[in-house]
């Protein structure tokens, strides 16, 4: 079949060349549709169900909201697990579905379930699903601020409330319409509210109570339509307006009658614009601000959406009130552009190097260009494939592409065609006839097509273990493997179709058989060397084995990391204060923190979100702030060579001076991923499930003690659940009854007095603002005098201390649940000990030493699970892969022995990779692992080319020694070429310091080091092995190979 394809390609060479245009067109078309982002999306399929419950303590939120919601989710199809969080005023249930579940299907299911439980939830609370976005969704952040000294039309300074109104009613509605935007999330400033602040004394004077006031406001704030009447043929609509529209109209509302005199709102209360009790704040460069985060719909192209948002924001600026400044502070486009630039740079430099190498070694610019042409074409084909397969372009998926590796197959074919054409021309003593030329091209192609196809097939096969990874690792590396495999397949197809066709078309002229000077020098060096090692074969084999053994040991001393971290170019840091820190206190501390960060000359901007935004996509308590530090371009740094790690260390040291903050440094996208994936991030997590929080905590503490006593345990920690200070107003029931008060009335009153109660909306055109009744700020916040707050009774009043007592308590700050049960996690990291053994001992010790009360149980989780399952899978998949490669080799040669000989090139190649890592002081990582995988492929490819040729010669001449030496020398050029293009193609990556380099560097390092060793060893050890192992064999039968 391959023969037919090659023959067809050569015969219909012009048709084939014109098909390139089609490929290019498809590639360009796909490129427009290729989702491009900086990093692969590792978010699982999840839906957040947020229920805002103002005034609910964590315990109540859990009991009244979280529990019914969780229970409603039991038995959902494709449900993986649920986890929940109950905080002050918020219940968040995160529902995680199995990977691959359609998000819209999942949301539909949830919608149905949530509808069904509406009646069981407390009145007025409505669970809402979070936006359809992933961890990559926060693509664009902007701040709304006021010019210094700017005033509104009335001459008042523009305050946070005004800015928030601008954001909510001018900016957000417009931005939300940008295609691909799913949500614009606001944080910071204050929602404008109309406040009715009654004076307790005046209410006593007029005998009016707060519920009365609220009721009056509710009943005096609506328009009513009354149908229509016809009059003289004209239709008249009838309506009765009554809606409140201004402070003065609110003041005029009649609350009660005192005798015959109406008591109006203004008689007993002050009406003013007021601030909401906010849950979150935003700061920028040390000042409070209003911040909007544009979230991208799942599956959209972040660059397009971010750019769209940026353009829209520019347009919106025209419609802003005088003095309001809107500024983008984070734009994903920057990162994506940088990523693309990195990939482009690598592609271009790699391609150039490949062309240079080909030119030097082939001595023919046309041949070099034909081979190099495979690079962009394979790239375009890959892009088409990626779009079809839904693989996004990012650092991981594009980062592992080595164009040297991709053109290997083409190199071998072009080289052989060149050699044969030159040879044929020499025999003919002039240029060849077309027919003849085509024939030569065909036979030359067929001569090497098998090893080259097998080689590419093998390189493809070695990527299979990567597909066995699951979870986060899988999501990180599947795109990479898929992209590489697609690129290789594309190159493979091109090398059997386009390459022979192009050679047939373009290599018509005189082809010098003379190899370049480089090759001649190389060969004259290689021949004596080869002959020498063939004599000392025992020594060579021993040395090779020793080298492999030494490198194995070396590999075990290298550090290791599982997943490489992509440098996003910016810094994110959590600033954490102690539980119970108030929002305003947090803002104050945040401002000082930002002022300090801003002093770093490398920092362009710093901004932060404190607490929970309007849509609780990331529900943080007020004591936690997500800081984003946007760095200047390196060229503007005082020392552009300073590493980011060093900058971060300096920053950490400087911030350590600030009192009261704790930090965790990370990166914007990474932070978001961590928030969404959540899970236990330590090696081992012992999850204690049960009902009673105190019991859970007690159990967790004893488990933590026990865990600490096991050797290898480090950083043992119990999840923090407590520490939220609470002021309890404990009602005295008998006293209440004596004064004729009901508990509910009393509680309503307290809630209304301190928390406030929404009694309606005030409309200003489209804009709507809440009308709230609550006590004036001075009275509301005065805890000392709360005891004396008059509570109205039927006959007068009674001070609060008569009917209730106040107590300061500490309450759970947060209640975490998993799969419908309360949970406390004990997490531990394991050092210098085998993780599996540790977990076994831990389980055994816990089962003997800890008795769990009925209704309590344990579960084990943590990264050890992933590691174990990854190890397990790999321990099955890797041998199978190796067998598969072996099988392919056996298929190619009909000889197990030859297959094994070629295979021996793999460990030899790996030695170079390990040495290179060691020299550059890099840990073993999956990136490096991928490098080893690619390396194995190259090594096998080289071996294949060499062995198949030696075999052909042996068959042809029957002299093993001659075949080995001549075969090796003839194949020196392709072996060197494939090796050089593959390794030089990686040189830009290995030296790169740009965005994304940290993923590519280990990979490139391994490949470069490995290829050097593989080439040397293929050229020296392989012939030795071949000769040794075949020394007693007969000359192989001719039909064994083509």
Partner 1 sequence: MKNILLFSLLTLPALLFTSAIAGEGHKHEHTHDKHLKITSDTQAQAHAHGHEHSHTAGHNDAAGKQAEGHDDVAVIAAAMAEQVGIRVAAAAAGTIERHIPLYGELVTPPNRQAQVRARFPGMITQINVTVGQRVKRGEVLALVESNDSLRTYPLKAPIAGIVLQQFASQGEYTAGESLFAITDPSELWAELKVFPAVLDDIESGLPVHIEARSGRYDSTITHILPASGQPYVYARVTLDNSSGRFAVGERLSALVDAEIMQVALVIDNLALQEFAGQAVVFVQNGEQYRPRAVQLGRTDGRFTEVLAGLKAGERYVVANSYLIKAELEKSAAAHEH
- Cα 669 vs. chain centroid, distance in angstroms? 6
**Residue 254 CB, nearest approach to partner 1 (Å):** 20
Stretch of 245-253, 315-323, 375-383, 647-655 contacting partner 1, by CB under 8 A = 647-655
Binds partner 1 by CB under 8 A, chosen from 834, 849, 959, 1033: 834
Q: Is 796 in the site for partner 1 (CB under 8 A)?
A: yes
Stretch of 242-250, 662-670, 966-974, 1010-1018 contacting partner 1, by CB under 8 A = 662-670
Binds partner 1 by CB under 8 A, chosen from 402, 567, 602, 818: 567
**Residue 200 CB, nearest approach to partner 1 (Å):** 8
User: Cβ atoms within 10 A of the Cβ of 601, count?
Assistant: 10
Q: Is 576 in the site for partner 1 (CB under 8 A)?
A: yes
User: Cβ atoms within 10 A of the Cβ of 520, count?
Assistant: 11
Task: Spell out where 706-756 has E strands.
Answer: 713-718, 724-731
**Residue 652 CB, nearest approach to partner 1 (Å):** 4
Q: Is 546 in the site for partner 1 (CB under 8 A)?
A: no
Q: Is 867 in the site for partner 1 (CB under 8 A)?
A: yes
Residues 948-1007 that bind partner 1 (CB under 8 A): 998
Query: Of the two residues 675 and 748, which places its CB atom closer to partner 1 in the complex?
Result: 675
Determine the angle formed by the axes of helices 471-496 and 2-11, rounding to 10 degrees.
60
CA distance 481 to 866: 19
Binds partner 1 by CB under 8 A, chosen from 129, 352, 493, 563: 563
Binds partner 1 by CB under 8 A, chosen from 25, 179, 201, 238: 201
How many helices (H) does the chain have, and how many strands (E)? 40, 30
Structure tokens at 815: 């209640």
- Cα 140 vs. chain centroid, distance in angstroms? 16
Query: Of the two residues 661 and 1015, which places its CB atom closer to partner 1 in the complex?
Result: 661
How do strand 192-198 and strand 767-773 relate by DSSP bridges? parallel
CA distance 48 to 103: 12
- How far is the CA of 65 from the CAs of 48, 85, 449, 544, 820, in angstroms? 14, 11, 67, 67, 12
Q: Is 637 in the site for partner 1 (CB under 8 A)?
A: no
Query: Of the two residues 121 and 1020, which places its CB atom closer to partner 1 in the complex?
Result: 1020
Binds partner 1 by CB under 8 A, chosen from 506, 799, 806, 852: 799
**Residue 765 CB, nearest approach to partner 1 (Å):** 39
The contact pattern for partner 1, residues 310-329, with x = CB under 8 A and - = no contact, is --------------------
Under DSSP, is residue 986 helix (H, G, I), strand (E, B) or coil? helix
Dmax (CA) for the chain in angstroms is 127
The contact pattern for partner 1, residues 774-793, with x = CB under 8 A and - = no contact, is ----------xx--x-x---
For residues 774 and 756, is the Cβ–Cβ distance under 8 A?
Answer: yes
Q: What angle do CA 967, 970, 972 make, to 5 degrees?
A: 105
For residues 82 and 68, is the Cβ–Cβ distance under 8 A?
Answer: no
Give 91's strand partners: 51, 86
Q: Is 177 in the site for partner 1 (CB under 8 A)?
A: no
Residues 328-387 that bind partner 1 (CB under 8 A): none
Q: Is 814 in the site for partner 1 (CB under 8 A)?
A: yes
Binds partner 1 by CB under 8 A, chosen from 127, 308, 451, 929: 929
Select from 1037, 1039, 1013, 1027 the least CA-distant residue to 897.
1027
Select from 338, 38, 342, 557 the least CA-distant residue to 1001.
342
DSSP sequence for 524-576: HHHHHHHHHHHHTHHHHHHHHHHHHHHHHHHHHHS-B-SSPPPP-SSEEEEEE
Binds partner 1 by CB under 8 A, chosen from 863, 895, 952, 983: 863
Given strand 757-764, what is the order of strands in its sheet? Answer: 269-275, 192-198, 767-773, 757-764
Select from 50, 54, 51 the least CA-distant residue to 756.
54
Residues 671-730 that bind partner 1 (CB under 8 A): 674-675, 678, 681-683, 704, 714-720, 723, 725
Residue 558 backbone zone (phi > 0: left; psi -120 to 50: alpha; other: beta):
beta
Binds partner 1 by CB under 8 A, chosen from 204, 464, 710, 890: 204
Q: Is 209 in the site for partner 1 (CB under 8 A)?
A: no
Query: Of the two residues 72 and 631, which places its CB atom closer to partner 1 in the complex?
Result: 631
Q: Is 916 in the site for partner 1 (CB under 8 A)?
A: no
Q: Is 169 in the site for partner 1 (CB under 8 A)?
A: no
**Residue 948 CB, nearest approach to partner 1 (Å):** 19
Give the helix/strand (H/E) hosting 227: strand 224-231
Stretch of 222-230, 483-491, 665-673, 750-758 contacting partner 1, by CB under 8 A = 665-673
Query: Of the two residues 146 and 928, which places its CB atom closer to partner 1 in the complex?
Result: 928
Binds partner 1 by CB under 8 A, chosen from 666, 948, 1013, 1015: 666
**Residue 411 CB, nearest approach to partner 1 (Å):** 24
Binds partner 1 by CB under 8 A, chosen from 293, 339, 936, 952: 936
CA distance 757 to 767: 20
User: Cβ atoms within 10 A of the Cβ of 730, count?
Assistant: 10
Give the helix/strand (H/E) hosting 142: strand 138-146
Q: Is 565 in the site for partner 1 (CB under 8 A)?
A: yes
Stretch of 102-110, 437-445, 797-805, 956-964 contacting partner 1, by CB under 8 A = 797-805
Q: Is 264 in the site for partner 1 (CB under 8 A)?
A: no
CA distance 761 to 6: 77
CA distance 827 to 596: 33
Give the helix/strand (H/E) hosting 522: helix 517-535
If binding means CB under 8 A, how many residues of this protein chain bind partner 1?
Answer: 120
Give 821's strand partners: 818
Stretch of 122-130, 268-276, 499-507, 919-927 contacting partner 1, by CB under 8 A = 919-927
DSSP 616: -
Structure tokens at 417: 């065609």
For residues 982 and 350, is the Cβ–Cβ distance under 8 A?
Answer: no
Q: Is 548 in the site for partner 1 (CB under 8 A)?
A: yes
**Residue 998 CB, nearest approach to partner 1 (Å):** 8
Residues 499-538 that bind partner 1 (CB under 8 A): none
Stretch of 272-280, 339-347, 416-424, 648-656 contacting partner 1, by CB under 8 A = 648-656
Q: Is 882 in the site for partner 1 (CB under 8 A)?
A: yes
Structure tokens at 112: 């149905």
DSSP 1040: G
Residues 102-141 that bind partner 1 (CB under 8 A): none
Binds partner 1 by CB under 8 A, chosen from 590, 667, 1013, 1015: 667
Binds partner 1 by CB under 8 A, chosen from 559, 601, 633, 1040: 559
Q: Is 470 in the site for partner 1 (CB under 8 A)?
A: no
Structure tokens at 1041: 């190979």
**Residue 145 CB, nearest approach to partner 1 (Å):** 23
Residues 893-912 that bind partner 1 (CB under 8 A): 900-901, 903-904, 906-907, 910
Structure tokens at 147: 């010019």
**Residue 121 CB, nearest approach to partner 1 (Å):** 25
For residues 850 and 856, is the Cβ–Cβ distance under 8 A?
Answer: no
Q: Is 748 in the site for partner 1 (CB under 8 A)?
A: no
Structure tokens at 856: 């309590």
DSSP 681: -
Residues 594-633 that bind partner 1 (CB under 8 A): 620, 623-624
Q: Is 400 in the site for partner 1 (CB under 8 A)?
A: no
Binds partner 1 by CB under 8 A, chosen from 335, 492, 772, 924: 924
The contact pattern for partner 1, residues 409-448, with x = CB under 8 A and - = no contact, is ----------------------------------------
């Amino acid at each position: 079949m391959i023969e037919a394809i090659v023959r067809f390609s050569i015969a219909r060479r012009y048709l084939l060349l014109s098909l390139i245009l089609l490929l290019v067109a498809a590639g360009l078309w796909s490129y427009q549709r290729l989702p491009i982002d900086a990093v692969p999306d590792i978010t699982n399929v999840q839906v957040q169900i947020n229920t805002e419950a103002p005034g609910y303590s964590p315990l109540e939120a859990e009991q009244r909201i979280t529990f019914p919601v969780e229970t409603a989710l039991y038995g959902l199809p494709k449900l993986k697990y649920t986890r929940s969080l109950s905080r002050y005023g918020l219940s968040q249930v995160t529902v995680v579905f199995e990977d691959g579940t359609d998000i819209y299907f999942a949301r539909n299911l949830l919608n149905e379930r949530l509808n069904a439980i509406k009646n069981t939830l407390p009145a007025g609370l409505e669970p809402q699903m979070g936006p359809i976005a992933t961890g990559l969704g926060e693509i664009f952040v902007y701040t709304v601020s006021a010019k210094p000294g700017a005033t509104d039309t009335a001459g008042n300074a523009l305050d946070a409330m005004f800015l928030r109104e601008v954001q909510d009613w001018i900016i957000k509605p417009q931005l939300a319409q940008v295609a691909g935007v799913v949500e614009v999330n606001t944080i910071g400033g204050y929602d404008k509210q109309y406040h009715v602040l009654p004076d307790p004394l005046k209410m006593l004077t007029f005998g009016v109570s707060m519920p009365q006031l609220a009721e009056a406001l509710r009943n005096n704030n609506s328009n009513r339509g009354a149908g229509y009447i016809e009059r003289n043929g004209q239709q008249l609509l009838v309506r009765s307006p009554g809606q409140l529209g201004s402070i003065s109209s609110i003041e005029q509302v009649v609350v009660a009658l005192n005798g015959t005199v109406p008591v109006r709102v203004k008689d007993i209360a002050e009406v003013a614009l007021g601030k909401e009790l906010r849950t979150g704040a935003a700061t920028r460069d040390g000042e409070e601000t209003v911040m909007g985060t544009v979230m991208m719909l799942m599956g959209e192209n972040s660059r397009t959406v971010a750019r769209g948002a940026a353009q829209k924001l520019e347009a919106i600026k025209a419609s802003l009130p005088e003095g309001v400044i809107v500024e983008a502070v984070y734009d994903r486009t920057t990162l994506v552009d940088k990523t693309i630039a990195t990939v482009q740079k690598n592609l271009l430099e790699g391609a150039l190097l490949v062309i240079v190498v080909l030119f030097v070694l082939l001595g023919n610019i046309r041949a070099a260009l034909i081979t190099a042409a495979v690079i962009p074409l394979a790239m375009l084909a890959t892009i088409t494939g990626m779009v079809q397969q839904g693989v996004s372009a990012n650092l991981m998926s594009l980062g592992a592409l080595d164009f040297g590796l991709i053109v290997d197959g083409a190199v071998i074919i072009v080289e052989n065609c060149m050699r044969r054409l030159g040879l044929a021309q020499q025999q003919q003593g002039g240029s060849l006839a077309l027919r003849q030329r085509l024939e030569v091209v065909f036979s030359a192609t067929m001569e090497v097509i098998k090893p080259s196809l097998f080689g590419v097939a093998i390189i493809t096969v070695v990527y299979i273990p990567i597909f066995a990874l699951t979870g986060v690792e899988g999501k990180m590396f599947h795109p990479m493997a898929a992209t590489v495999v697609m690129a290789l397949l594309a190159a493979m197809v091109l090398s059997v179709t386009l390459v022979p066709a192009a050679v047939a078309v373009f290599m018509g002229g005189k082809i010098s058989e003379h190899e370049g000077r480089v090759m001649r020098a190389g060969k004259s060096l290689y021949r004596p060397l080869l002959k020498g090692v063939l004599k000392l074969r025992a020594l060579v084999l021993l040395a090779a084995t020793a080298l492999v053994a030494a490198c194995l040991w070396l590999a075990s001393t290298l550090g290791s990391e599982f997943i490489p971290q992509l440098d996003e170019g910016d810094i994110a840091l959590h600033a954490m204060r102690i539980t119970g820190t108030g929002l305003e206190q947090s803002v104050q501390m945040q401002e000082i923190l930002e002022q300090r960060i801003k002093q770093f000359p490398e920092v362009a901007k710093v901004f932060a979100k404190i607490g929970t935004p309007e849509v609780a996509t990331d529900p943080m308590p007020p004591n936690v702030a997500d800081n984003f530090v946007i760095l200047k371009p390196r060229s503007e740094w005082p020392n552009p060579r300073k590493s980011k790690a060093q900058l971060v260390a300096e920053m950490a040291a400087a911030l350590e001076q600030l009192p009261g903050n704790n930090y965790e440094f990370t990166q914007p996208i990474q932070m978001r991923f961590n928030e969404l994936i959540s899970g236990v991030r330590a090696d081992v997590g012992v999850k204690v499930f049960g009902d009673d929080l105190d019991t859970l905590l007690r159990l967790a503490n004893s488990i933590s003690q026990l865990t600490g006593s096991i050797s290898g345990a480090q950083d043992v920690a119990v999840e923090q659940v407590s520490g939220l200070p609470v002021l309890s107003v404990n009602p005295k029931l008998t006293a209440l009854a004596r004064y004729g008060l009901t508990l509910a009335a009393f509680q309503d009153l307290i809630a209304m007095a301190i928390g406030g109660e929404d009694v309606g909306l005030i409309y200003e055109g489209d804009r709507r603002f809440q009308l709230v009744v609550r006590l004036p700020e001075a009275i509301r916040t005065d805890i000392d005098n709360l005891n004396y707050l008059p509570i109205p009774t039927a006959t007068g009043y009674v001070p609060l201390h008569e009917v209730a007592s106040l107590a300061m308590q500490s309450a759970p700050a947060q209640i975490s649940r998993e799969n419908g049960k309360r949970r406390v996690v004990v997490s531990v990291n394991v050092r210098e000990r085998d993780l599996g053994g540790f977990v076994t001992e831990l389980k055994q010790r816990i089962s003997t030493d800890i008795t769990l009360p009925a209704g309590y149980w344990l579960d084990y989780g943590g990264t050890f699970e992933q590691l174990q399952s990854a190890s397990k899978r790999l321990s099955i998949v890797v041998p199978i892969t190796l067998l598969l490669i072996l099988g392919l080799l056996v298929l190619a040669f009909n000889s197990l022995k030859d297959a094994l000989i070629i295979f021996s090139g793999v460990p030899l190649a790996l030695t170079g990779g390990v040495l290179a890592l060691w020299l550059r002081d890099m840990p073993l990582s999956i990136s490096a692992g991928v490098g080893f995988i690619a390396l194995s492929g190259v090594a096998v490819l080289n071996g294949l080319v060499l062995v198949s040729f030696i075999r052909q010669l042996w068959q042809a001449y029957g002299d093993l020694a001659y075949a080995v030496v001549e075969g090796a020398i003839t194949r020196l050029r392709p072996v060197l070429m494939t090796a050089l293009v593959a390794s030089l193609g990686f040189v830009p990556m290995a030296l790169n310091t740009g965005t994304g380099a940290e993923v590519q560097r280990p990979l490139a390092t391994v490949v470069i080091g490995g290829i050097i060793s593989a080439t040397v060893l293929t050229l020296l050890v392989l012939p030795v092995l071949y000769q040794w192992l075949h020394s007693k064999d007969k000359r192989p039968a001719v039909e064994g190979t083509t």
